[in-house]
Amino acid sequence: MAGTTNAFEMAQRQFDHVADLLKLDPQVREILRWPLREFHFRIPVRMDDGTIKVFQGFRVQHNDARGPNKGGIRFHPSETIDTVRALATWMTWKCAVVDIPLGGGKGGVVVDPATMSTGEKERLVRGWVQQMWKNIGPRKDVPAPDVGTTPQMMGWMMDEFSKLQGDYTPGVITGKPVGGGGSLGRTEATGFGVIYTVREAMKHLGMDSSKCTAALQGFGNVSQYAAIGFVEMLKGKVVCVSCWDREDKVSYTFTKMDGVDPRFLMSITDQYGTIDKAKAKAAGYVIEDGEAWISKEVDVLIPAALEGQVNADTVKKISSKVRIIAEGANGPTTPEADEVIKERGIFMVPDFLCNAGGVTVSYFEGVQNDMNFYWSKEEVLSKLDEKMTVAFQGVLDMALKEKVYMRDAAYMVSIARVVKAMQLRGWI
Ligand SMILES: NC(=O)C1=CN([C@@H]2O[C@H](COP(=O)(O)OP(=O)(O)OC[C@H]3O[C@@H](n4cnc5c(N)ncnc54)[C@H](O)[C@@H]3O)[C@@H](O)[C@H]2O)C=CC1
Ligand SMILES: O=C(O)CCC(=O)C(=O)O
């Protein structure tokens, strides 16, 4: 992969660029370039065979000027502190851009959860809470799921925290299972939120969504509901999705030029987002290499897997037909690729705006936990649509007013809100 691959370096470069445009005070800049707090810890877990395995865990709290830190916990074999720092930093900008009263945090464990039994996973997540419980809580830092973690794990974590605290505390964590303190609509929230922003981008560009096509990277939580939303809400056609194949250890693209059926594909996908190749082939899907998704002649590209996927090499493969890139993933585009996209005039819906639907419904989940009163799915999704639409319009207005790239405009909106909160609290 060419160019910048370190996610935290990417996050700092994006921020520095806009800080320069804003002529941001150097001291304010120094606060915002780095996380305020980091926790590095080891989690010993009794494995099913009786041995003890020790896992590396992290939690990074980037900035809590606007409210408690908020952000998921990622379980991935290649997790690093720099990835967690980047993801925590983007969470600060994400919560600010959708104007929810929360700061930015993120956690992680270096582990491949697919290699563990259910019991081992439960002991690992309870161990994570045992290390962190004094530094998380509804008014301190509220974790949630991300890549490799599930609602069930959030349920166990909430239980562990409540036991240690001696009080039932559902608001300590979000993305919990429905019936166990979770909110209806959280599963769909990130993917549907992506589609609400694509809908608004299409309105701005004068595109008829029912005549549009899309190619998606990834087929996990975000991509599955983005694909469903593109087909069912926008009446468009998704020509391919891709995934990482855990057996073959490579990625594949699953293509059907007359339109994939996302609900069928979901029925043959495991909990880690790997699609069953044999079943897909039998249903008429063409299986191509993992990078094929990016060169499709479509109107919309939705990278919804991991960071750094649209980079100096892969950006060259983007077809001249593409008009919108909607970043479902966090940090999928490197600064080098951004330059090319800007030059080509492709409309960018940047990650921390595009995928903010998840944390928005997590915020709604916390509100419902506080009230001990739960909303219908329709109510949750209609509140989400409103938040995402207002946020999109705010960023678009800034981009048009300042004549800047949408990513820079999103940073401008968020930085102003975080700086204002720091001023109001007397930090600066
Ligand atoms: N789940 C959520 O609510 C939110 C997730 N995100 C971000 O969205 C992205 C995806 O997250 P989830 O869908 O939750 O994760 P997930 O674990 O449910 O799915 C990830 C998908 O990406 C695929 N993948 C991994 N490496 C790949 C590669 N090299 N090529 C193609 N596919 C690959 C996996 O096979 C899987 O289908 C991440 O960047 C995450 O941080 C952002 C906001 C909220
Ligand atoms: O739901 C949340 O609180 C966090 C979601 C998240 O980790 C993200 O938006 O990247």
Report the alpha-carbon distance of residue 384 to residue 98 in Å, rounded.
10
With the most atoms of ligand 1 within 8 angstroms of its CB, the residue from 197, 244, 333, 354 to mutate is 244
Ligand 1 centre to CA of 215 (Å) is 15
- Residue 369, classified by CB atoms within 10 Å of its CB into exposed (0-12), middle (13-18) or buried (19+), is buried
Q: For a pLDDT cut of 90, what percent of the chain falls above it?
A: 98
| Pocket of ligand 2 contains residue 83 by CB under 6 Å | no
Coil vs helix vs strand at 290: coil
| Pocket of ligand 2 contains residue 185 by CB under 6 Å | no
DSSP characters over 248-269: TTEEEEEE-TT---HHHHHHTB
| Residue appearing with tokens 């975000």 | 222
pLDDT above 70 (res 293): yes
Q: What are phi and psi of 144, to 5 degrees?
A: -165, 175
- ipTM for the whole complex: 0.99
Ligand 2 centre to CA of 63 (Å) is 15
Question: Which residue has its alpha carbon closest to ligand 1 atom 6?
Answer: 329
pLDDT above 60 (res 4): no
Report the alpha-carbon distance of residue 50 to residue 46 in Å, rounded.
6
Chain-wide mean pLDDT for the chain? 97
355 Cβ contact partners less than 8 Å away, ≥ 6 residues apart: 94, 190, 193, 194, 222, 304, 327, 328, 329, 330
Report the alpha-carbon distance of residue 199 to residue 209 in Å, rounded.
7
Cα 259 → chain centroid? 25
Check 23, 53, 106, 281 and give the catalytic one.
Answer: 106
Annotated binding site for NAD(+): 190, 221
Domains of the chain by start residue, with CATH: 37-171 (3.40.50.10860), 187-349 (3.40.50.720)
Nearest to 333 by CA among 352, 315, 359: 315
Q: Which pLDDT belongs to residue 1?
A: 37
With the most atoms of ligand 1 within 8 angstroms of its CB, the residue from 100, 221, 271 to mutate is 221
Ligand 1 centre to CA of 273 (Å) is 8
pLDDT above 80 (res 3): no
Is 106 among the catalytic positions?
yes
Annotated binding site for substrate: 70, 94, 362
Which tens digit of pLDDT belongs to each residue from 330-350? Answer: 999 999 999 999 999 999 999
Which tens digit of pLDDT belongs to each residue from 378-422? Answer: 999 999 999 999 999 999 999 999 999 999 999 999 999 999 999
